[in-house]
Amino acid sequence: MRIRVKFAKTEPMRFTSHLDLYRAWERLLRRTDLSLVFSQGYNPRPKLQLAAPLALGITSQAEIIDFWLDNSGDDLKEITTKLLAAQPPGIEVKSIESIDPGAPALQKQVSAADYQVILLDPVQHLDQKIESLLSSEELIRQRRDKTYDLRPLILRLGFEQAESQFLQMSLSAREGSTGRPEEVLLALEIAPENTRIERTQIIFQK
């Protein structure tokens, strides 16, 4: 039985790494007393998959994790109750469903992710900066001593003005072709530390 959970990663876990979030879910699942499927070997661990890494400092309302149970008779309502009772500060379970155990690996299904970025300080001429960025044929950036073109990874970018300015962006999130919101901010000459970034949706391939 394969269970898919949508959850929020909130402020108490904003600076939790992808690996530590994975470990937090391992601890959470062990506390539930569910019939978990474990890996083989000297150090068995619950079998689970997270959809897409999230950089330090970014919160999310749309994280997704899959885990496996060896009892297909487990009731979703009971699973939900146990997960809610075990969730630590910073993880908020939003929905749970049972999916096909033979479906592709979760990471292979992801195509894009949406983000909302609140700008803590006003940015002058933001509309012009966005227009200039989107009209660029390429945006060469460097990551881990490798250069890459950020421009084709930006699927959508815009901003709105309410009580404060905020950006809406949709970025490619395929394996080996992932756009990072902090890189988009740097390309707009906005310091990421002067923003609050939240992932609002993970989009699967059709």
Q: Which pLDDT tens digit goes with each residue over 72-98?
A: 666 889 999 999 999 999 999 999 999
* Boundary (domain end) residue, out of 103, 132, 167: 103
How many structural domains comprise the chain?
Answer: 2
User: Over pLDDT 90: what percentage of the chain?
Assistant: 73
Give yes or no for a contact between 134 and 126, defined as CB atoms under 8 angstroms apart: no
Give the range of the structural domain holding residue 42, as residue numbers without chain letter: 2-103
How confident is residue 174, by pLDDT bands cut at 50, 70 and 90? confident
> Is 115's pLDDT higher than 90?
yes
Neighbours of 26 (CB within 10 A): 15
The pTM of the full predicted model, rounded to 2 decimals, is: 0.92
Look up residue 143 and give its amino acid: R
What is the predicted pLDDT for the residue at 97?
Answer: 94
Neighbours of 181 (CB within 10 A): 23
* Boundary (domain end) residue, out of 52, 69, 103: 103
Residue showing tokens 């909130």: 10
| Residue 13: closest CA among 106, 78, 91, 128 | 91
